[in-house]
Amino acid sequence: SAAAMNFLRRRLSDSSFVANLPNGYMLDLQRPDSSTSSPVSPATERKHLQPPQPSHSSSTGSSIFSSLSSAVKQTTQGLMDHSAGPAPPAAQKPKVLLVIDDAHTDWAKYFQGKKVNGEFDIRVEQAEFSELNLAASVVGGCTVDMQVVRSGTKVVRSFKPDFVLIRQHAYSMALGEDFRSLVIGLQYGGIHTVNSLCSIYNFCSKPWVFSQLIKIFNSLGPEKFPLVEQTFFPSHKQMVS
């Protein structure tokens, strides 16, 4: 403490006190390698032995920057190793795009070489509604079974689509042209689609679509949104009577 230091200074300045000290005591105090140097507390000793530590905020910022730099270096080095090494990098599992359309348009060529988020390849599976079947569950998602004939060869596949592009009407009054159950199955399995499955299901009924147009007609007026006059009957019996 300051009081102790002042006391020592006064005692050492006293000639009679210094004269009574053992021979060579003052010389030992002045030697830099003296084993009898003034003692220090353990905390002070550890402070001298350890390198100075930066403050908490500085340490945190340096640590984050160091981690980022290390990650960038490792990524860059990994890319260099892949380009120089004989073994190609492990490919990510491709995303499956199911296109529901006829065979007149080859949708695979439009997605050839394209990637999702620059990382995942796209595998296109194309079939018509009539060539598909599916099963969907709460936990397992949706599994599609496909049976198509390509160039005289029957192709049978089963897969889980990640996305569906629908280019066909899901409902027609013609016999065997009602595929609304498949639309419901895709919705049941939580599959993302273009257009939305809700809009596709709604468009299965033309009167339902026209009823939505009537709402716009009533909101904007006949001048901005004209409609052809129509009358809806629940069945053909009311139309005849």
Chunked into runs of 10 residues, the chain (241 residues) has average pLDDT values of: 60 58 54 48 50 49 39 43 52 91 95 92 96 96 95 93 96 94 97 94 95 97 96 88 65
Is residue 216 situated within a structural domain? no
The parent domain of residue 147 ranges over: 91-204
> Which amino acid type is present at position 78?
G
Is residue 141 situated within a structural domain? yes
The tally of domains found in the chain comes to 1
The set of residues, in sequence order, having a beta carbon less than 8 Å from that of 191 and lying 6+ positions away, is 141, 142, 161, 162, 163, 164, 197
pLDDT at residue number 72: 36
Is residue 222 situated within a structural domain? no
Q: Please report, for the domain that includes residue 111, its CATH number.
A: 3.40.50.20
Is residue 133 situated within a structural domain? yes
pTM: 0.60
* The two structure tokens encoding residue 133: 């079947």
Q: Which residue has the tokens 């009311």?
A: 238
pLDDT at residue number 114: 93
Compute the distance between CA of residue 72 and CA of residue 86 in angstroms, rounded to an integer. Answer: 23
Q: Which residue has the tokens 């199955």?
A: 185
Is residue 108 situated within a structural domain? yes
Where do the H-state alpha helices sit in 85-167? Answer: none
Is residue 173 situated within a structural domain? yes
Compute the distance between CA of residue 118 and CA of residue 71 in angstroms, rounded to an integer. Answer: 19
Is residue 37 situated within a structural domain? no
Q: Look at residues 140, 176, 171 and name the one whose alpha carbon lies nearest to residue 158.
A: 140
Is residue 62 situated within a structural domain? no
